[in-house]
Chain A
């Protein structure tokens, strides 16, 4: 098991390296760069070239990559070309809204989805089952920003129950923090409810059909605790897999939700950076997100050993 973890960590480092190369190549092989944007409206071509050189953009690619890689390995993610603020500082300033959003979305989505999936599996084949599945797929089919606008219109403008936009740090009170996150989490979470509910249902159906479940029922064990304790634990592996995938997808969905609800998170940071071609921010954030994804995958794999004793590394 220890050897497994070490092997996986080494593999993680390799993967991160690959990610770094991918992103670097994508940015630097594309036409255009930040020089013209930085130079401003009245710049001459000579001025734009001068800026390009001062940013090191005219150096050969491998030199530029080596420079950036060395920096990253010593912990320096570089400085934003536009704002002169270190990328690490920018990320640190904006990580809480993204984390908060991700957390509340997962809590919301997983709760709803597990409940829906278990219900659907328990009443397999009935109208309730069909309805739950269709409704959850509908949630998966409408773009997040449309759902977001509708929610804002209904709950924030018409009913005035919740704020329209913005983020309130937890330090300034639990309810302000939570109330700013309810609508975004709902908009974002709807898609994942579908995904997780369906997998839950399938996994639960498999488990419910197993012999040992029928035996338990025959022995007269009460249905409630039986359902949740035995079934959920066995179905844990596929469910956790999907939650892991869901978290990866979340990183993508966060980008749109942060724009619609004006949350000052990392998703917006990187989208703004892309439109300005602020390379250090783009590279730094994508590296960060990839790292998070890879580590979560590792944790998901490790959690299998807890949920299913048959799985050993």
Chain B
């Protein structure tokens, strides 16, 4: 069979949702899980009780009709805390990703276009990247007072250099393209070039990177809580729930399973979304599928 005939004989991809799902199982799977959890977080007051009310006399009760996931050491409802915890944990993931991406994009674009800015900025980024992220985060939080915004800033800061590098390399690659030269020669202004050519090129890898950053942010928040430098314990996050209940792993495992499984699920889902997006957006892999 000739190549041409083989081409003709190939079944063209069918459109429609079902086929999208079949071709991108990881992406869809991740998105579905995330959507469910985000939904639960949004309608928290409807599906869960009070996450903060402490009644020590009810402490460490196993899962039951009243407390679906039991109670923790202060008598608080674990299910309620897990559901409300989704809000903060998702918020942390989203905020860190957004902040790191936006600031990184801005700096990366500047670095891509201006040699002077580039030399100064890239050295600064190298310096920042050299400091172990978790130590920087711990120091940042310990030395200020603990709050969700401080924790977000502390986790976002070490992520910025990697984003800057990514954006800069994309900008440099795109700038070399002949059609850019042509656009410049024909008098197109910089903002238009940015909007039409540069930005669209940076968006796909940025989105993929954003998902990984979000996933790791949620995990780092848990680690910071474990080390005592996390979000204020009043505000339930999966990280600080696991950290403050870790003594009860053998005694009252439900205090850890709720937030632990939720954490693992969300991180898994975000990673799957990232993988799926990358497979879609990377032309080489997409072709192979």
Contact = CB atoms under 8 A, between A and B. Distances in A.
B132 A251 contact: yes
B215 interface: yes
B132 A27 contact: no
B209 interface: no
A76 interface: no
Given A26-B140, A30-B144, A145 B246 contact: yes
Interface in A149-168: 149-150, 153
Given A145-B226, A146-B242, A15 B143 contact: no
A275 B142 contact: yes
Contact of A286 (B131, B219, B284): B131
Given A18-B126, A153-B250, A286-B132, A27 B139 contact: yes
Nearest to A256: B223
A209 B287 CA distance: 12
The main secondary structure of chain A at its interface with chain B is helix
A286 B254 CA distance: 38
B107 to A, nearest CB: 15
Interface string B211-246: 000010001001100111100000000010011001
Contacts of A294: 126, 130
B268 A141 contact: yes
Contacts, number: 137
Contact of B263 (A17, A141, A270): A141
B264 A286 contact: no
Interface in B27-68: none
A289 B267 CA distance: 28
A56 B10 CA distance: 77
A293 B161 CA distance: 14
B134 A293 contact: no
A274 B142 contact: yes
Contacts of B249: 149-150, 153
A133 to B, nearest CB: 8
Q: How large is the interface on B (under 10, 10 to 19, 20 to 34, 35 or more residues)?
A: 35 or more
A140 interface: yes
Given A256-B227, A271-B138, A271-B227, A140 B143 contact: no
Nearest to A275: B142
A144 B267 CA distance: 13
B268 A290 contact: no
A252 B132 contact: yes
Contact of A143 (B226, B268, B275, B288): B226
A138 B124 CA distance: 34
Given A18-B126, A146-B242, A140 B267 contact: yes
Interface in A1-46: 11, 14-19, 21-23, 26-27, 30-32
Contacts of B178: none
A26 B135 contact: no
Nearest to A141: B267
Contacts of B128: 18, 22
The main secondary structure of chain B at its interface with chain A is helix
B33 to A, nearest CB: 12
A8 to B, nearest CB: 11
A307 to B, nearest CB: 20
B123 to A, nearest CB: 6
Contacts of A18: 123-124, 126-128
Nearest to A282: B139
A142 B260 contact: yes
A137 B132 contact: no
B126 A27 contact: no
Contacts of B239: 143
A248 interface: yes
Given A149-B246, A149-B249, A256-B223, A143 B131 contact: no
Contact of B135 (A145, A202, A270, A277): A270
B132 to A, nearest CB: 4
Contacts of A206: 284
Interface string B249-281: 110000010001001110110011001000000
A137 B127 contact: no
A48 interface: no
Nearest to A138: B268
Interface of A: 11, 14-19, 21-23, 26-27, 30-32, 133, 137-138, 140-146, 149-150, 153, 198, 202, 205-206, 209, 248-249, 251-253, 255-256, 259, 270-271, 274-275, 277, 282, 285-286, 289-291, 293-294
Interface of B: 123-124, 126-136, 138-140, 142-144, 215, 219, 222-223, 226-229, 239, 242-243, 246, 249-250, 256, 260, 263-265, 267-268, 271-272, 275, 284-285, 288
15 contacts: A15-B126, A18-B126, A21-B127, A23-B131, A23-B139, A32-B143, A138-B268, A140-B267, A142-B263, A143-B239, A146-B246, A252-B133, A252-B135, A255-B132, A286-B132
Given A18-B126, A248-B132, A271-B227, 11 more contacts: A18-B123, A137-B271, A137-B272, A141-B263, A143-B242, A255-B138, A256-B226, A289-B130, A290-B130, A290-B131, A293-B130
